[in-house]
A = this chain, B = another copy of it.
Amino acid sequence: MAPAPPWHVSAWFNAPQPLSLEGLRGRVIVLHAFQMLCPGCVSHSVPQAERVHRLLAADDVAVVGLHTVFEHHAAMTPVALQAFLHEYRVTHTVGVDAARPGEAVPATMHAYGMQGTPTLCLIDRTGRLRLQHFGRLDDMVIGAEIMALVHERGDNAAATLGKSRSDGIAGCAPSGCAVNRDERHS
């Protein structure tokens, strides 16, 4: 199983210093990609990530938000994100996915092959990407899958979690915003 791709982040919020996959090795990482103007992210997945942070995060689990802007770039600037995080009382760490010159889709989103927002990634203690889901996930399933990774021990790490799943969203639906073909190729 391949390791999770490295992150390309141009700014961090709610973090004393930049985070990296290497720096979090040994912990289960909940990576949550969102956009501040994606309705399904605002109503569902951002508060859900905050719940993971408050209910489950500790020595074993780290929650990292990733602002993966692939549309409305002039509206979703870092200063706007900062105001958003303040008003929505987001306390977990959030990074700004680094823009790629001339491209709509930012660098980390591109490296992971994400189809839109929200996307949830679970990375195990050894740095492998074990689940990637575009769309909504139940709280109960997230709690269970995180805890399954927390309790893995060495060789018995089963690859039972599905990688790269999707809710099949097109455009911006209540559950999320999909990357259009044009945006992917721009």
Contacts and interface: CB of A to CB of B under 8 A. Distances in A.
B148 A139 contact: no
Nearest to A82: B75
A14 interface: no
A146 B72 CA distance: 36
Given A75-B77, A77-B75, A79-B75, A51 B87 contact: no
Given A142-B143, A146-B144, A87 B39 contact: yes
Copies in the complex: 4
The DSSP consensus for interface residues of chain A is helix
Interface residues of A, number: 39
A172 interface: yes
A55 to B, nearest CB: 5
A173 to B, nearest CB: 11
A140 B42 contact: no
Interface in A147-186: 147-148, 150-152, 172, 177
Interface of A: 37-39, 42-43, 51-52, 55-56, 71-72, 74-77, 79-80, 82-84, 86-88, 138-148, 150-152, 172, 177
